């Protein structure tokens, strides 16, 4: 952001319809695996999203303007329907910690979506 003071936290302050409308006005939506991520993708808002203990192959949003960061570790995905989606990570969430700020910002810069 060019002006950090222009950020507004609307967490818990919008209805679903208001959130959907706001997403149509966004240039980019950054999220983990969540309902709002899928809503943003449905609204055709470009997304960047992070997966680790879950697989984007089954649960990632559809669409061409969605970019996933997922490290494909041998232990990931570690949650699934067979373990009641319970995380029992012995590697300290390495699957998410390996995603660096530098690679995410480089992807954003190269996409041109924020120009």
Residue 103: give the domain boundaries: 4-111
> Could you give the CA distance from residue 48 to residue 41 in angstroms, rounded to a whole number?
10
Rg (CA), the chain: 15
Supply 33's token pair: 């695996």
Displacement of CA 75 from its chain's centroid (Å)? 20
**Model-wide pTM > 0.75:** yes
The percent of residues above 90 in pLDDT, for the chain, comes to 44
Angle (deg, nearest 10), helices 16-25 and 35-42: 50
pLDDT tens across 12-51, in order? 999 999 999 999 999 999 998 889 999 999 999 999 999 9
pLDDT tens across 55-68, in order? 888 888 888 889 99
Indicate the number of domains in the chain: 1
> Could you give the CA distance from residue 108 to residue 115 in angstroms, rounded to a whole number?
10
Q: Are 21 and 36 in contact (CB under 8 A)?
A: no
Residue 1 has pLDDT above 70, yes or no: no
Assign residue 28 the CATH number of its domain.
3.40.50.2000
């Amino acid at each position: 952001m060019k002006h950090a003071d222009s950020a507004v936290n609307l967490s818990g302050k919008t209805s679903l319809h208001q959130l959907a409308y706001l997403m149509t006005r966004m240039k980019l939506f950054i999220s983990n695996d969540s309902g709002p991520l899928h809503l943003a993708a449905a609204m055709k808002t470009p997304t960047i999203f992070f997966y680790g203990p879950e697989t984007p192959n089954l649960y990632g949003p559809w669409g061409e303007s969605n970019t996933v960061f997922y490290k494909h570790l041998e232990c990931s995905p570690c949650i699934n329907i067979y373990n009641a989606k319970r995380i029992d990570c012995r590697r300290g969430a390495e699957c998410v910690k390996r995603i660096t700020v530098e690679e995410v910002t480089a992807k954003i810069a190269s996409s041109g979506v924020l120009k």
